[in-house]
Amino acid sequence: MKKLFFALLSCCFAFLGCKEKTKPSPLKDSDPLHAMEKTTPPTPNNEQDSEVKVIPISHATAVVEWNNITIYIDPVGGAKVFEGQKIPDLILITDIHGDHLSVETLQELDTKKAKIIVPQAVADKIPEEFTPQIDVLNNGDSKERYEINIEAIPMYNLREEAKKFHEKGRGNGYVLNMGGQRLYFSGDTEDIPEMRSLKNIDKAFICMNLPYTMTVESAANAVLEFQPKQVYPYHYRGNPDVSDVTKFKRLVHKGNPNIKVVQLDWYPEDDF
Ligand SMILES: [Zn+2]
């Protein structure tokens, strides 16, 4: 019996020892498997890479990152407000006003590798040095750059007293199609039919300020019609009052609790 026990025990050790020996030895550089791992390129567009990141800078100005592409939306405020951001591959400008177009900011930033997408009215105000980089898109046009399809959407006022701020045809809102996602930046507009009829928007950046764009009620009403998955209030500092984005959120949730309202800090210098 004792003999059998020791026999079993030694068998066990032999097995364990054997198991130990079969453990893969650390790979050396010369091993074919290791070499293969080293040369396999990273999978493009994996979940991590294709995640869309939006960084609010201020008011209407944002940085969008996707798949190693960096997009500046309405860069204003000087180069200092973009400190720490990657240099832009694409710059999208919506309109001629100072909170959307700043020639000084374009000149201060490192824009050498950037394509600049603008409506004609903006192109007319940008100095010649930028001409080779400019793609003019007018309302209804679209263009593909770096696997991103950019659609120019109209933006304009509807209220009689506000029509002077943004006449139809001058500025562009933009829809960006990237990595299967659709982002909409409204630019300065009211709840126009072209916004209300948008389809399959994942993230919608919607302006709401008076007297220049629209009320939170109009903004919420339009959002409830085109039903983006997420809505980001932006461009909500008005004159003299800042729009009530909490009310906007309440109105959207009341109408459709499935639409997520995402509040970013668009005014880092202010209390609101
Ligand atoms: Zn504006």
Q: Which residues of the chain have pLDDT under 50?
A: 1-48
> Which CATH number is associated with domain 49-261?
3.60.15.10
Distance 146 CA to ligand 1 centre (A): 27
Distance 236 CA to ligand 1 centre (A): 9
Between the alpha carbon of residue 196 and those of residues 94, 185, 247, the distances in Å are: 19, 13, 20
Distance 141 CA to ligand 1 centre (A): 21
Bridge partners (DSSP) listed for residue 58: 61
Distance 167 CA to ligand 1 centre (A): 13
Distance 123 CA to ligand 1 centre (A): 17
pLDDT of the residue at 133: 98
Length of the chain: 272
Distance 264 CA to ligand 1 centre (A): 17
pLDDT of the residue at 5: 44
Distance 176 CA to ligand 1 centre (A): 19
First to last CA, the chain: 84
- Listed in order, strand segments (DSSP E) in the chain are 53-58, 61-66, 69-73, 90-92, 115-118, 134-136, 142-145, 148-155, 171-178, 181-185, 203-207, 230-234, 260-261
Phi, psi of 93 (to 5 degrees): -120, 135
pLDDT of the residue at 162: 97
pLDDT of the residue at 24: 37
pLDDT of the residue at 262: 98
Residue range 193-224, pLDDT digits in tens: 999 999 999 999 999 999 999 999 999 999 99
pLDDT of the residue at 32: 39
Phi-psi region of 268 (alpha: psi -120 to 50; beta: other; left: phi over 0): alpha
Distance 166 CA to ligand 1 centre (A): 9
Angstrom distance (rounded) from CA 272 to CA 262? 15
Q: Helices 245-255 and 216-226 sit at what angle, rounded to 10 degrees? A: 30
Sequence-ordered list of residues with C-beta below 8 angstroms from that of 67, at least 6 positions apart, any chain: 44, 45, 49, 50, 147, 178, 179
pLDDT of the residue at 182: 98
Distance 74 CA to ligand 1 centre (A): 10
Between the alpha carbon of residue 145 and those of residues 71, 114, 123, 177, 203, the distances in Å are: 11, 11, 18, 10, 20
Distance 235 CA to ligand 1 centre (A): 7
